[in-house]
Chain A
Amino acid sequence: MRSLIRWRFKGKLKIILILLFLFSALFMSYQILYYTSLTNYQSQESHKQVLNSKSKERFSEESTGGYRKSEKLEVEVIPGRGKLVGGAILGVAPEYWPLYEPKQRNKKFFTCFASSREISWSKVNDDYCDCPADGSDEPSTSACMNGRFYCTKSTKHYPEYIPSSRVNDGICDCCDGSDEYESLFLTSVCKKSC
């Protein structure tokens, strides 16, 4: 019985190691790609118009120990579009930004990715889940159980995507702390680790 378990364990270990190698290879190649897209995004940013927002949320001094003052995130809440930080839609990978740009696409409705259900643009990122199948209407918030949040930055040790349930739960999951933009209840200090 014991030896059987050990054999199985050894077999598993082998597979795990192979998978690990493949994964790291993939990850490295992705990192290179990501770097290029990141530079693209930064060059685009200067052309972006700054949208007005009713409420401007800022990290408070005491809760952002990890950030120096100049690095504070400014979160702008844009109804019908999302939470924006420095022009980026929080929780959305740059390649998907067009799907959240109503004016560019000149569409009356937002279409849930999985269910193809159409909802008004005001319901996008309004902290209520209208696309429960995939959470596609709430990429910036924690409203959907099946949603995912894109970290504005990721590293080898920090993920690219996290489940929506980890947005604003008081724990830094993204290396830049972008998942914890409601500093109100930031219980652990986000150390900048990117």
Chain B
Amino acid sequence: MIMSRLWSSSLVTSKIIFLSYVFLILISHSDTVDRSKFKTCDQSGFCKRQRNVKEGSATYEADLSQGTVSTSSVSIPVINKGNGIPFVLEVFLLEGLKFRVKLNEAKPLRPRYEVEHALLSNMREGKLEVKKAADHWALIADTNNEARVYSTPLRIEFYSGGEKVTVINGRQMLKFEHLRKKPDVNDEPNDENAANEEGKEEPEPSMWEESFGGHQDSKPRGPESVGVDIDFPFTQHLYGLPEHADSFLIKDTKGGDPYRLYNLDVFEYEVNNGMALYASVPYIMAHSPKNTVGLLWLNAAETWVDFDVGGGSNLVDSIVNLVGGGASDEKVGRTRWMSESGIIDIFVFMGPKPTDVMRQFGEVAGTAPLPQMWAIASQQCRWNYNDEEDVRQVDEGFDSHDMPYDSIWLDIEHTDGKKYFTWDSHKFGHPVEMIQNITAKGRKMVTIIDPHIKRESGYFVHEDALRDDLYVKDKTGKVYEGWCWPGAASYLDFFDPKVREYWSSRFRLENYPSTVDLYTWNDMNEPSVFNGPEVTMPKDLIHYGDWEHRDVHNLYGLLMVKATYDGQMLRSENQLRPFILTRAAYVGSHRYTSIWTGDNTAEWSHLKISIPMCLSLGIAGFAHCGADIGGFFHNPEPELILRWYQAAMFQPFVRNHAHIETKRREPWLFGDHNTALIRSAIRKRYALLPYWYTLFHQAEMEGIPPMRPIWMLFPDDVKTYNIEGQHLIGNALMVAPVLEKGASKVSVYLPGVIWYDFYNYVAYQSGYHTIPVTEDSIPVFQRGGTIIPTKQRIRRASTLMKRDPFTLFVALDENNEARGRLYIDDGQSFGYRNGKFLEVEFTFKDNKLQSRVVNPGSYATTEWVERVVILGWRNRPASITVSSKSVGTSKLEFEGTHPLVIRKPRTLITEDWEIILS
């Protein structure tokens, strides 16, 4: 209150305060995050209440006799015996072995929020068979999969292949705070308003208001949190729950705070903890050799998740386990999910294999659409490129240093006073000309567009928003005013369809001086509010539909990128694939946007954490994920940025970006020697673009991300379950980047049978290996049995490589066989959704390499095959012949045995062909 009065007192004072705030942000180079700005579970009223729930305390019972059954679902009344509050439990079967469990109050005082926009609207229902027993109903999906609803006490069990894989409320820790009227302060608590909820708890002061860091949360709707235990009796290997700067394998939370999901702008975040970050996807995968399941907790409010997965920080537990030898026998992964409002809405994806779970997740949340080719190449960003001349020089710098890149980005300083959709008239006076100069070389540009709107009369977005009522309101119905980059700012309410439509129309070229080659970076969309509680919006703000910000917080960023996506579609008349980079995200954001891991730091630990962070986002749908190369804050030493470049070139999204107070960081500024090494790393990325592109297409089709955990391909190999520093790209490449300063070797685990170093062709049998590395080394291995399409002619930009010939890398397995795929299209349009693409299958078998076009004649291109490299060939062949329609049958020249390099088959990629070794 005091703070807000101060700010409204006079414009001058507030400006001074704001400037000093910005100044503090800019100059404070403290090395750690300011934890006092962010809540612990104890400081979050509902989390504290939920975490106090004891095992066996819940008193919910399902009345099976009153249950009803339809083709795909059951509906069963549930009562909380402790206070008599009635609930409705619904269990749905969705096609493709997915269960959905919804629990809501039967007669809530007001409707409770159910998440919209996150999932696909056209989920197909499955066909359910219900077997009724005295104490439970069995909901049978097929011979291997069923769910069982037990009545007393209420619990729901899921079985896959005879194994119990998931249990909801098995430990009876369900706590569903029903909506209630605020008790009069003078009244004694009575049974009717159930202040003594569940008959055990005392009312807590945090139920009707709470404060944190000088911010008051008025909580007019009172306590309304939901929480339940969900156990995985078959495994303690749980993965995901992005976004946290933490390991991919989820850690035990006993003795610490739960993992938190609440989209927040965390300044200088630290690694290896479960603090909330910019994105929240309440999704995990539970994995064992036999089964894999996925679990989605569909709730957009602030959420905390506790994990009991062994190896916790509780010393007593560890000792008990050690002494009793219990750790090895114990394999139940226990979790408990707690959200501040909304309902309980859980999806269980039954697997049984990791790729099945990915497909099932994709059928519910959608998949990441195939990006344009340029977007998966290398991008260059900085806060800020100062003016048009700076942009020209950086672009020129890439050319003069012969380094490919595909886009240059402009941060907030390109605008006229942080007014998005405008250009600074002095520094960027000719935006269209500038963009065209960049795009003339086949490259693109990206500008930042944030959700905070400068409150300045005359700024069209602000004027339109006031006139047409487009802003988020405070609890009294007034337009909410916060502070962000522009100073005083208000925030568009993207939950309102008319706001989204308005936003989309802003991208039309007549509204935004630009071209269709200018794409968008949506930052600060948690939303970040510098003077708000925990640097975001107060929870009692009101959004479209009369929902409190509390109910929908984690969805704000999703709706913003959805509107941006629609805007890019609009301006190109649905021709060009949009590109958006977002910082905030929720489940489903990946249908519209790429993501990066936000404002990281130039430290080795941050390079290291980029792998688990993107693996975690990857299994939650975000196929296109990356981290700022070099680290956003501070200056990386040359060795760090070199190693970062090398690692990042094998991650899905590649961007060099840095804070305004750091030294310039263009890749040629670290000495000639490092320039050459970085160039070499970037070229490796461009060479592999055909493979990456094929994988991104697979991500759209099958929901499997290009960057994969090793166990996705080797589900049975328990040695892969704890690996955090290695990952797969597709099913053919294993990457083990150098993540330590001064490293001369990297320890690698290779599952399966045989692998080949992708760059020096050394063969490795499966097992643990210590790989020596040089400055130029990136330990990358091709799996025996795979074929990888590459292009070895590296151009200035990926778009200029579209006519160039292919080099195929064929790595033979123990049976002298290999397979691979190639997907090609125009690299930019939606033509591929109408069949304008080419899919090619490569097979090596019986000394013969065959290329077969799956869909002949669908896409015209002159691309051809210039080289075939075979790894694992044993004897020098007597002769090699190629045959196809365009080249007839002719002998080919070749060199070596391992690798065996076949020179210039000259076959077209659009035709079927074969090469025979004899």
Tell me the A residues contacting B by CB distance below 8 Å: 126-128, 142-143, 145, 163, 165-166, 168-171, 184-185, 187-188
Contacts and interface: CB of A to CB of B under 8 A. Distances in A.
A165 B442 contact: no
Contacts of B904: 126, 128
B804 interface: yes
Contacts of B440: 171, 188
**Chain B facing A: main interface SS:** loop
Given A145-B792, A145-B793, A165-B794, A185 B903 contact: no
Contact of B795 (A126, A128, A165, A188): A165
Given A128-B903, A188-B440, 18 more contacts: A126-B904, A127-B866, A143-B793, A143-B866, A145-B793, A145-B794, A165-B795, A165-B796, A169-B795, A169-B800, A170-B442, A171-B440, A171-B441, A171-B442, A171-B796, A184-B803, A185-B803, A187-B442
Contact of A171 (B683, B794, B800, B862): B800
Nearest to B862: A184
B802 to A, nearest CB: 8
Interface string B777-802: 00000000000000011111000100
A165 B903 contact: no
Contacts of B402: 163, 165
Contacts of A168: 803
A188 B797 CA distance: 15
A52 B760 CA distance: 43
B403 to A, nearest CB: 11
Interface in B425-442: 440-442
A183 B866 CA distance: 21
B800 A170 contact: yes
A142 B793 contact: yes
Contacts of A166: 795-796
Given A128-B904, A163-B402, A165-B793, A142 B804 contact: yes
24 contacts: A126-B904, A128-B866, A128-B867, A128-B903, A128-B904, A143-B793, A143-B866, A145-B792, A163-B402, A165-B793, A165-B794, A165-B796, A166-B795, A166-B796, A168-B803, A169-B795, A170-B442, A170-B800, A171-B440, A171-B442, A171-B800, A184-B803, A184-B862, A185-B803
Nearest to A165: B795
Nearest to A130: B903
Interface of B: 402, 440-442, 683, 792-796, 800, 803-804, 862, 866-867, 903-904
A169 B801 CA distance: 7
Contacts, number: 39
A166 B441 CA distance: 10
A163 B683 CA distance: 14
- Max count, chain B CB within 10 A of own CB: residue among A143, A145, A165, A166: A165
Contacts of A126: 904
Contacts of B794: 145, 165
Contacts of A171: 440-442, 796, 800
A3 to B, nearest CB: 15
B901 to A, nearest CB: 11
B797 to A, nearest CB: 9
A143 to B, nearest CB: 7
Contacts of A185: 803
A168 B683 CA distance: 19
Contacts of B867: 128
A24 to B, nearest CB: 17
Contacts of A170: 442, 800
A163 B399 CA distance: 10
Nearest to B893: A123
A138 B153 CA distance: 78
A142 B796 CA distance: 12
Nearest to B402: A163
B442 to A, nearest CB: 7
Nearest to A170: B800
Contacts of A184: 803, 862
Contact of A145 (B441, B683, B862): B683
Contacts of A163: 402
A127 B864 CA distance: 12
A127 B793 CA distance: 11
A128 B806 CA distance: 12
A166 B402 CA distance: 10
A60 to B, nearest CB: 15
B618 to A, nearest CB: 31
B881 to A, nearest CB: 18
Given A142-B804, A145-B683, A188-B440, A169 B866 contact: no
A126 B402 CA distance: 24
A145 B796 CA distance: 12
A45 B795 CA distance: 34
Contacts of B793: 142-143, 145, 165
A163 B866 CA distance: 20
A165 to B, nearest CB: 5
A156 B113 CA distance: 67
Contacts of B795: 165-166, 169
A145 B441 CA distance: 19
A167 to B, nearest CB: 10
Nearest to B404: A165
A163 B794 CA distance: 11
A122 to B, nearest CB: 10
A151 to B, nearest CB: 15
B683 A169 contact: no
Given A145-B683, A188-B440, A169 B796 contact: yes
A143 B867 CA distance: 11
Contacts of B792: 145
Query: 8 smallest A-B Cβ distances: which pairs?
Result: A169-B800, A128-B904, A169-B795, A165-B795, A163-B402, A185-B803, A142-B793, A188-B440
A128 B804 CA distance: 12
B161 to A, nearest CB: 51
Contacts of B903: 128
A168 B803 CA distance: 10
A143 B903 CA distance: 13
B803 to A, nearest CB: 6
Contacts of B804: 142
Contacts of B442: 169-171, 187
Nearest to B903: A128
Contacts of A145: 683, 792-794
A66 B98 CA distance: 61
A10 B538 CA distance: 49
A1 to B, nearest CB: 10
A166 B792 CA distance: 14
Nearest to A187: B442
Contacts of A187: 442
A166 B796 CA distance: 7
A57 to B, nearest CB: 13
A130 to B, nearest CB: 8
Nearest to A120: B893
Contacts of A143: 793, 866
A119 to B, nearest CB: 10
Nearest to B441: A171
A53 B795 CA distance: 29
Contacts of B800: 169-171
Contacts of B796: 165-166, 169, 171
B647 to A, nearest CB: 23
A142 B794 CA distance: 9
Contacts of A127: 866
B780 to A, nearest CB: 18
Nearest to A188: B440
B735 to A, nearest CB: 22
A163 B401 CA distance: 10
A175 B40 CA distance: 64
Nearest to B683: A145
Nearest to B792: A145
A113 to B, nearest CB: 19
A142 B792 CA distance: 10
Nearest to B793: A142
B662 to A, nearest CB: 12
